[in-house]
Structure 1
């Protein structure tokens, strides 16, 4: 799974499949933004958010998830 590495930690990983995609972040990022993820109509697991081509993740939510993930890893 490709991702973005900052320092020694991968802050965000991502994957794409034929019917859905996903981004993986630190579990603390998911926990802190659970309500916002839900309001966007998206599904979250312990470490990721899934989306479809018809229901994408808003850009500002991706940014928030990445920032929170980066904080958890201390980078």
Structure 2
């Protein structure tokens, strides 16, 4: 089922996930003020200069937060210090263990900086 926008996506997510998803959206909006909100592959995200630089998704038991691979690799130590595990392009976590706000905004800023390269 395609979701047309961030609001619809969050409203369709499990109730326990909604506050975290709203908070992530606000953090990403603040860190990426020039980005366009969009939905692709049924995931809400943020696009700069034609490139998706950040997105998030709710799964059955966890939330995924995705950035450019270069942003994840630049913050490997910070992600580990926060007790989170990373894949090449993102981190996943249960809704009760959100990543620190400063880590989210740093990842978004780095992803934005790398959007041209």
Please, what TM-score do these two structures have when normalized by structure 2?
0.60
Distance in 1 of aligned mates of 2:48 and 2:100: 22
Shift of 1:7: 2.4
Offset, 1:25: 0.5
Runs of 5+ consecutive residues of structure 1 not aligned to the other structure: none
Q: Which runs of 4+ in 1 moved over 2 A?
A: none
Give the secondary-structure state (helix, strand or coil) at the position aligned to 1:4.
strand
Range 25-34 or range 9-18, more displaced = 9-18
**Greater RCO (CA < 8 Å, at least 6 residues apart):** 1
Q: Which residue of 2 aligns with 1:44?
A: 86
Structure 1: how far apart are the matches of 2:101 and 2:48? 20
Q: Using structure 1 for the length normalisation, give the TM-score.
A: 0.91
More helix by share: 2
Give the Cα–Cα distance (whole angstroms) in 2 for the partners of residues 10 and 4 of structure 1: 6
Superposed, which structure 2 residues align to 1:52-67 within 5 Å?
52-67=94-109
Larger radius of gyration: 2
Number of residue-to-residue matches in the alignment: 75
